[in-house]
Structure 1
Amino acid sequence: MVVGDEPFAVKTGAAILGQGGNAVDAATAMYFALSVTYPVAAGLGGGGICIVHDPAKNTTQEFDFEARDAAQPGAYAVPGNVRGFAVMQASYGALPWQKVVSPAEVQARTGVPISKALATRLAEAGDVIRLDAGLAALYLDESGKPKAAGTVVFNPELADTLAAIRINGSDVFYSGAVADKIAAYGGSEGGTIAKADLAATKAEISTPRVTRIGSDYVFLPSNKVGSGAFAGVLFDNLAKAQSTSVGAKDIQAAVVWAMQQSLKDYHVAELPKDLGATGFVAMDARGQAVACAVTMNGPFGSGHTVRGTGVTLAKAPSASAAGLASAFLSPIIAARQADDPAELAGAGAGGPNGAAAIAYALARIAGGDEILTRKDLRTTGVAPYDTVNAIVCSGRTCSALPDPAANGLGALVPVKEK
């Protein structure tokens, strides 16, 4: 199964599973497809975090590749996504690298319709799009308005970049021809990304934080990253809320209090409406599960596209309040035992409501409830660009559940019994 915020990317992940790929292959293919079909939140210039749970190997690992400030901070973030997904796919993937990148390359070159999910965000991001010639050419019509859902968009420069990544691996993005163009653009446009910043970019592999909710082991991002620190505070506050008589009876109230308290603990009083983030999940027939969340630190990030590459750079974390986006990336996996298949693999992204929705789902499962339909998830509709996507299993039944307030998709790939 696969699930995410943008349907064309989800279908790409499903196709990879159908071709014999595992969950990591599917998640990697979904990410690269999102860079074409949903670049408002998942561009090649952004960063993120994934958690991989592989019961066959009895391992659960975290891959951290957040977009970071350059050594000399400026307007643009140093991208982490391409390196992160390359390292994760090399560690766990079953298919050749070329096979998981090529679908996105084809979509960029031959064109893909604007989905309702992307059109919704384009309508709010018009001011950002108008300031960049590359984005304007792609997403504005002749009257200067964002293009409507169903309009086919071609991005040959991005296709060329994806082709280079497919053929040469992630190194071309960080120390090759693409890196040269990014560094040259950053210097000429007042940014400060240097070749040394790109060359030094790594994906950190670590052990996620483990906590208990009911009878489940829950794997969260570790405390060394912002998303892990916030998730840790959130779940600690949720435990406090559920220890009260009111919180024990009313999960919704407990989650709301825990989120409000966590935001107070972090001194967050106000956030931008759109933090430019998205989450997606994959699970295969062997039980391998992957939950990922990525961000551009605002819609289309910095709003600046590197000429000749189709790569829009994320906004530097220190450049604005949107730099808090990484704190709300919430990939989470829950299982009865470390070597059991996941009961829940989910990802909240875009803001605190996405993280709260994941906490709500876990709390309900721990309380003995079944979450098997989309409407059973806690809606994030009060903050439209905070989303939650999850795959939830009960017994032998699993469901791929996109956010009930968004325009995503969950897809099942039939597996023939041997």
Structure 2
Amino acid sequence: MIYARALAGVAGLVLLAGCSVDLGSVGDTVGLGSKAQPQGLAVGDEPFAVRVGAATLAQGGSAADAASAMYFALSVTYPVAAGLGGGGICIVHDPAKNETVEYDFQPRDAASGGAYAVPGAVRGMALMQGQYGNLPWQKVVSPAEGYARAGFPVSKALADRLASTVDVIRLDAGLSAAFLDESGKPIPVGTMVTNPDLANTLAAIREAGPDGFYAGAVGQKISAYAASEGGAITAADLASAKAQVTTPRVSQMGSQYIYLPSQKTGAGAFAGAVVDHLARATQTDIGGKDLQASVVYATQQALKDYKVSDLPKDLGATGFAAMDNKGQAVACAVTMNGPFGSGHTARGTGVTLAKAPSSGAAGLASAFLTPVIAAPRTDEPAVLAGAGAGGPNGTAAIAYALARITAGDEILTRKDLRTTGVAPYDTVNALVCSGSTCVALPDPAASGLGAAVPTRKK
């Protein structure tokens, strides 16, 4: 039952090291030793995608550029939880513009129903990057295209997810060819993987923007495949796929303003309920002086509010964040509504389609996407940008970090961040600033990466 899962996940607080990658000029980090403000920070569940985000920042990209580049890279290196066929939520905090906004591009049902969701992520990332990015669109998409065409080595993060999704992979020819060996077992860490069809799709997106995905040859192949499988994604569905720009929910904890997904979304409603219950728990001393116990209580109460009693082990989601040296911060959480989404790849595109939200428990995946920004004011840099994703434990873990930060505690190491306890299915990743020190903290129990781009020497 999900109540037991939430309690074990948050209260167990398993502390294990994540993996690291040598990034050369980009520092693999659980903290920045110098008090100099870094050029930028990136964090996420899959190391090679985080490397792309950090490299984007090193090239002068904004946090929005880096987050968009990480998403496209994840669609190649971590397709079990992020893909062109899925969707999600991002929150952007830009003190230079004195604003914090939300981009909602969750996967939705096709007009005629069916098992496949109408993808929203490409549209959402393009809109966000166009409004807050510094770099040309091509530079944001091309690293992912390079991974897909030239190949990438399977990371431990991906290998861990492949091991638990063999039954899904075996049902799709494209996924089987990419991720299973000749004996039908998941390929091991370090195995090189290419995806020429996906590379071609990313090339179309690079050249034509979102229209290269939703229209033209790629869109035709997606709708034709869906029709042949009874999935009902039409050309009209793809053409109507939009990203909404909205105002996130704002609340105050201590001296910080907390920005969560809008309460108009399931994600915002659940995260807001956790924060509200946590505030009451701490005010009334329900958890005693134990903040951890208060977070567990708040999460369980939120689950009761929404009558959630059971969930699949893996909802196919991931979260990531980026900060740049101008103070812009972006936190994103995306989902495929299940591991590898529907488990069906549209022929000739390399695009695995997300499950339709109405397909049973798949619809609950978006409720646990919890990108979060915490800042003293809208015109000041964030002190926290992060995301819980994958389930209620992810939301609980980011809520714990928020409570610590707003209470004035320092979170400068992975053990301070804590973990969901059920990684890699539910994870928490965060960028945290305390005074003049900023750190990138991946989930302690997962195999992600936190990376800092050192300040350039003058």
The TM-score, its normalising length taken from structure 2, stands at 0.90
Match of residue 365 from structure 2: 325
Q: Residue 109 in 1 paired to residue 149 in 2?
A: yes
Q: Shift of residue 249 of structure 1?
A: 1.2
Q: Distance in 2 between matches of 1:20 and 1:338?
A: 23
Match of residue 377 from structure 1: 417
The answer to whether the 8 A contact 1:353-1:383 is kept is no
Match of residue 281 from structure 2: 241
Equivalent residue letter for 2:198: L
Q: Shift of residue 84 of structure 1?
A: 0.4
Counting only pairs closer than 5 Å after superposition, residues 268-417 of structure 1 correspond to structure 2 as 268-382=308-422, 384-416=424-456
Q: Shift of residue 246 of structure 1?
A: 4.3
Of 75-84 and 240-249, more deviation after overlay is shown by 240-249
Counting only pairs closer than 5 Å after superposition, residues 160-199 of structure 1 correspond to structure 2 as 160-199=200-239
Q: Distance in 2 between matches of 1:352 and 1:325?
A: 10
Which secondary structure state, in structure 1, belongs to the residue aligned with residue 80 of structure 2? helix
Equivalent residue letter for 2:376: R
The answer to whether the 8 A contact 1:381-1:406 is kept is no
Q: Residue 158 in 1 paired to residue 194 in 2?
A: no
The gaps in structure 1 that reach 5 residues or longer are none
1:132 to 155, 158, 172: 172
Q: Residue 73 in 1 paired to residue 106 in 2?
A: no
The answer to whether the 8 A contact 2:252-2:258 is kept is yes
Q: Distance in 1 between matches of 2:453 and 2:422?
A: 32
Match of residue 58 from structure 2: 18
Q: Shift of residue 383 of structure 1?
A: 5.3
Equivalent residue letter for 2:444: P
Match of residue 28 from structure 2: none
Q: Shift of residue 297 of structure 1?
A: 0.4
Q: Shift of residue 382 of structure 1?
A: 3.3
Q: Distance in 1 between matches of 2:150 and 2:265?
A: 38
Match of residue 6 from structure 2: none
Q: Shift of residue 310 of structure 1?
A: 0.1
Alignment deviations for residues 358-402 of structure 1 (CA, whole Å, 9 cap, x no partner)? 100111112221100011112112354100000011000010000
Which secondary structure state, in structure 2, belongs to the residue aligned with residue 2 of structure 1? strand
Q: Residue 215 in 1 paired to residue 255 in 2?
A: yes
The answer to whether the 8 A contact 2:157-2:424 is kept is no
Q: Distance in 2 between matches of 1:384 and 1:268?
A: 21
Q: Residue 120 in 1 paired to residue 160 in 2?
A: yes
Of 316-325 and 121-130, more deviation after overlay is shown by 316-325
Q: Distance in 1 between matches of 2:268 and 2:422?
A: 24
Q: Residue 149 in 1 paired to residue 180 in 2?
A: no
Higher relative contact order (CA 8 A, sep 6+): 2
The answer to whether the 8 A contact 1:158-1:311 is kept is yes
Q: Shift of residue 293 of structure 1?
A: 0.4
Match of residue 127 from structure 2: 87
Equivalent residue letter for 2:365: A
Q: Distance in 2 between matches of 1:21 and 1:375?
A: 30
Of 368-377 and 284-293, more deviation after overlay is shown by 368-377
Q: Distance in 2 between matches of 1:163 and 1:389?
A: 29
Match of residue 300 from structure 2: 260
Which secondary structure state, in structure 1, belongs to the residue aligned with residue 93 of structure 2? strand
Q: Residue 97 in 1 paired to residue 131 in 2?
A: no
Which secondary structure state, in structure 2, belongs to the residue aligned with residue 302 of structure 1? coil
Q: Shift of residue 190 of structure 1?
A: 1.3
Which secondary structure state, in structure 2, belongs to the residue aligned with residue 34 of structure 1? helix
Question: C-alpha root-mean-square deviation of aligned residues, in Å?
Answer: 0.9
Equivalent residue letter for 1:49: I
Q: Shift of residue 118 of structure 1?
A: 0.3
Q: Distance in 1 between matches of 2:360 and 2:181?
A: 29
Q: Shift of residue 247 of structure 1?
A: 2.8
Match of residue 79 from structure 2: 39
Equivalent residue letter for 1:161: T
The answer to whether the 8 A contact 1:271-1:322 is kept is no
Equivalent residue letter for 1:183: S
Q: Shift of residue 417 of structure 1?
A: 5.5
Which secondary structure state, in structure 2, belongs to the residue aligned with residue 370 of structure 1? coil
Q: Distance in 1 between matches of 2:299 and 2:213?
A: 38
Of 36-45 and 239-248, more deviation after overlay is shown by 239-248
The TM-score, its normalising length taken from structure 1, stands at 0.99
Which secondary structure state, in structure 2, belongs to the residue aligned with residue 163 of structure 1? helix
Q: Distance in 2 between matches of 1:90 and 1:368?
A: 35
Alignment deviations for residues 48-105 of structure 1 (CA, whole Å, 9 cap, x no partner)? 0000000011011100000000011110000001000000000010000001100000
Q: Shift of residue 415 of structure 1?
A: 1.8
Alignment deviations for residues 294-317 of structure 1 (CA, whole Å, 9 cap, x no partner)? 000000000000000000000001
Q: Distance in 1 between matches of 2:263 and 2:84?
A: 25
Alignment deviations for residues 284-335 of structure 1 (CA, whole Å, 9 cap, x no partner)? 0110000000000000000000000000000001112122010000000000
Alignment deviations for residues 230-272 of structure 1 (CA, whole Å, 9 cap, x no partner)? 1111111111111122435111010000000100111111110
Match of residue 228 from structure 1: 268
Equivalent residue letter for 1:302: S
Q: Distance in 2 between matches of 1:129 and 1:10?
A: 25
The answer to whether the 8 A contact 2:221-2:347 is kept is yes
Match of residue 205 from structure 1: 245
Counting only pairs closer than 5 Å after superposition, residues 4-15 of structure 1 correspond to structure 2 as 4-15=44-55
